[in-house]
Structure 1
């Protein structure tokens, strides 16, 4: 009879990821399609090679400063959910919830959808029937026209495959992440090696003469009238977004071995490693193409233009393969990490209850993975995910600033707590990150108040949801 009342043991995460796995999650989540396209966009605003390289160096250092601050928080609180937990503990449950709400409904799911479509676009180079040009369904309702193309279906398939892989254990997800991250870095390294050995470029492209008096952007049209500082700020924002998603590994903190040491190390190693990859890649582009020529590359596909100049027509196909590898690995990292946030929210009674359960065998948040996969697929089908990303692009940076500031808040709030790792260069390093990031947040709001205002509205819509789940939690406690 005693067995009748036996309480089933709660399923918990298992720490199976090492330092290499954690570092690959950081690097793989950051390196997507941006490095193959963003340098051309940036060159339009800042067609000066020395400053182009400086942008990537400064962006990398700033990102590393943020990672250093996150290291202290993760070492102090190595819990599933990462940034959600930090914001909850430093400020309030509602702020942590608003971060998780925005992450689920817009930021992470939107990125997953966008990266999956990017994969599909380049698959279309080899299989035209699976491109965006292949329309499957088209109709119009009350003046609103909807078009479904085959690339969207490919994107959904990618999301589905990677979601399934990550349901079968964090180790399977990590194997895919390691394989594709190493592959994408190797592909970039191969392009660099070939460019500098047989590319027939010119080092003078990297050292063009420059004067502030004669400076002016050359693309896009709205940038041509910008002054140096405005152009520098906009170009820097593109670099910072290419460095985004570096904090993904903090979401899976409970699944990393010796998290007090390995997560801070992986954050710093990963962000600095990506900075090195980005800087060398941009030096390669500039070695082959002058900055002004980079800015005018069709569709901003600068990596394809460089490869085509080296390999001929074959170059575009080689870069298409490299981007497919890069985007597939990037999406895997995004899909793997974020469900741990939704799991933590559900455990706090602030999300769908089923999201707070782990699979008894695989120890993965299967329900959270499925919820994320379904919503990402909806955004892929809707065709509105790019707009959603535009509206809330500043939100990711805003939450990052608040999280770095949490280092100061928590040192005052919990001075007695053990901190196995402390922020290097405190307080200068986190202050520098906060000041520079705030400059870009203000610039985004001033430059596009409509989009940023709508993005803030999407975040604030989470407040009624928080009230609903909070009340439901209280009712459950009383039952």
Structure 2
């Protein structure tokens, strides 16, 4: 039976945004968003657990990300308004589902993910300055960093963007240097597989590793400003995905080949250890500071961008009204920035990188699962110009691979992570219905007046 033709929010003429982002800019933005600070620490965690088999874990994550990215590319060619994951899920399942996804992304991925990166900063510096192993020192350091990043973004977006641009360049150059010069130090014996890991170990490690692959969808939040999104979104996602997978596999191969069985000795800063092998102690020091600076840049960018969503939500009545206040001098949503920064600080002192990365990965996987299901639902609906829209190759196999892989990886969650996630989702539902009740009550009161 044919489905009736429906009209989806593929474009929003009321957004008032100019479509100025082309394929090169969007591709670079996605690459920069994915190749973040987590890759400075994750090769040791993966290598310690899986040995030489770790390279295949990247391939598995790459296949999963390919399925997810292709679904994003398909739905991104249909829904071209701003909002990314939130807009896609809302278009398929309505306001309530979109609201849950928006909160999960803001809190579960944004705050917890940034808190995990804060711990990489301390772990990297701890290699040079052992004093950072003290919880009190780490807490004080996190507080100073948080206050500094808040001040940068309260004083103006221009300052925050300028800092992030410089840090992005500093972040990528040493990674390329390790790939180019590291192969000369590789011992092929370290790349031989002695045994296969258990499925449980593989699933648990993949859940942690996925932290390094997530983030490509952030750039799609600006869908309302992308030129010819029906072409640009799929093309940019495919190019960026291939580049990221190649870079990650090369980094893991070099790290595994150089460190081998000694990987566990450098769990906080494996790439710095590789740099030490290449050019000596100065190389390790440079990599450690680059890792810390990269994390600082990622968190600074998060504190720059995400509070704007809080600000917009507060103006729409979704969040407390005080978050909508603008600084009288600097014209920034200063209370939203301060609130968001302090939440990152609180979570940064509540756990280490690995624990926080597992939680953030679980949240983003659930978001990806919702987007894949949205893609499946919207694929069944006829749209005007449907024949010109991008459709993920592989037919129904592509979304099914994504759904199956995500559900399997999520089996690696412990009881605490499962309960925390369910409680969080339940709290979001309560907030949603309370907000609707208050808005309806105020609207009714306005009518009576």
TM-score range, shorter-chain basis?
Answer: 0.7 to 0.9
Give the Å deviation of 1:15: 4.5
Give the Å deviation of 1:193: 2.0
Q: Which of residues 472, 475, 479 is equivalent to 2:438?
A: 472
Give the Å deviation of 1:108: 0.7
Matched, 1:167 2:133: no
Matched, 1:82 2:51: no
Flag structure 2 segments of 5+ consecutive residues without an equivalent. 1-13
Please list, as runs of the form range in 1=range in 2, the aligned pairs for 1:3-152 lying within 5 A after superposition: 12-47=16-51, 49=52, 51-122=53-124, 131=132, 133=134, 135=136, 149-152=139-142
Shift in alpha-carbon separation, 1:209–1:68, aligned structure 2, 3 A: closer
Alignment partners' CA distance in 2, 1:417 and 1:69:
19
Q: Which of residues 270, 274, 285 is equivalent to 2:244?
A: 274
Deviations 1:428-448 (A, max 9, x none): 22221111111112x134xx1
Aligned to 2:198: 228
Alignment partners' CA distance in 2, 1:161 and 1:28:
24
Flag structure 1 segments of 5+ consecutive residues without an equivalent. 1-9, 137-147, 217-226
Matched, 1:458 2:424: yes
Q: Which of residues 171, 175, 183 is equivalent to 1:196?
A: 183
Deviating more after overlay: 465-474 vs 331-340:
331-340
Alignment partners' CA distance in 1, 2:232 and 2:393:
16
Does the CA contact (< 8 Å) of 1:75 and 1:260 recur in 2? yes
Does the CA contact (< 8 Å) of 2:211 and 2:357 recur in 1? no
Give the Å deviation of 1:153: 2.3
Matched, 1:180 2:161: no
Shift in alpha-carbon separation, 1:202–1:13, aligned structure 2, 3 A: same
Matched, 1:436 2:405: yes
Does the CA contact (< 8 Å) of 1:28 and 1:177 recur in 2? no
Find the residue that maps to 2:392 and give its secondary structure. coil
Shift in alpha-carbon separation, 1:354–1:14, aligned structure 2, 3 A: farther
Shift in alpha-carbon separation, 1:288–1:155, aligned structure 2, 3 A: same
Find the residue that maps to 1:422 and give its secondary structure. coil
Give the Å deviation of 1:191: 1.7
Find the residue that maps to 2:215 and give its secondary structure. coil
Does the CA contact (< 8 Å) of 1:346 and 1:354 recur in 2? yes
TM-score (normalizing by structure 2): 0.82
Give the Å deviation of 1:475: 3.7
Alignment partners' CA distance in 1, 2:25 and 2:210:
24
Alignment partners' CA distance in 1, 2:341 and 2:295:
16
Aligned to 1:383: 350
Aligned to 1:285: 255
RMSD across aligned C-alpha pairs, in angstroms? 3.6
Does the CA contact (< 8 Å) of 1:135 and 1:149 recur in 2? yes
Give the Å deviation of 1:384: 5.4
Please list, as runs of the form range in 1=range in 2, the aligned pairs for 1:182-261 lying within 5 A after superposition: 182-197=169-184, 199=185, 201-206=186-191, 208=192, 210=194, 215=195, 228-261=198-231
Deviations 1:133-154 (A, max 9, x none): 4846xxxxxxxxxxx7332124
Alignment partners' CA distance in 2, 1:421 and 1:385:
41
Does the CA contact (< 8 Å) of 2:76 and 2:234 recur in 1? yes
Deviations 1:400-443 (A, max 9, x none): 112112111112245447564332333222221111111112x1
Does the CA contact (< 8 Å) of 1:404 and 1:430 recur in 2? yes
Does the CA contact (< 8 Å) of 2:71 and 2:399 recur in 1? yes
The count of corresponding residues between Structure 1 and Structure 2 is 430
Alignment partners' CA distance in 2, 1:267 and 1:122:
31
Deviations 1:315-337 (A, max 9, x none): 32021122134223433454455
Find the residue that maps to 1:46 and give its secondary structure. helix
Shift in alpha-carbon separation, 1:114–1:231, aligned structure 2, 3 A: closer
Shift in alpha-carbon separation, 1:134–1:383, aligned structure 2, 3 A: closer
Alignment partners' CA distance in 2, 1:271 and 1:159:
30
Give the Å deviation of 1:203: 2.8
Deviating more after overlay: 341-350 vs 80-89:
341-350
Alignment partners' CA distance in 2, 1:412 and 1:356:
39
Matched, 1:321 2:325: no
Find the residue that maps to 2:430 and give its secondary structure. helix
Shift in alpha-carbon separation, 1:352–1:421, aligned structure 2, 3 A: farther
Aligned to 2:298: 330
Q: Judging by fraction of residues, say which structure has more helix.
A: 2
Shift in alpha-carbon separation, 1:126–1:189, aligned structure 2, 3 A: same
Shift in alpha-carbon separation, 1:286–1:46, aligned structure 2, 3 A: same
Shift in alpha-carbon separation, 1:236–1:394, aligned structure 2, 3 A: same
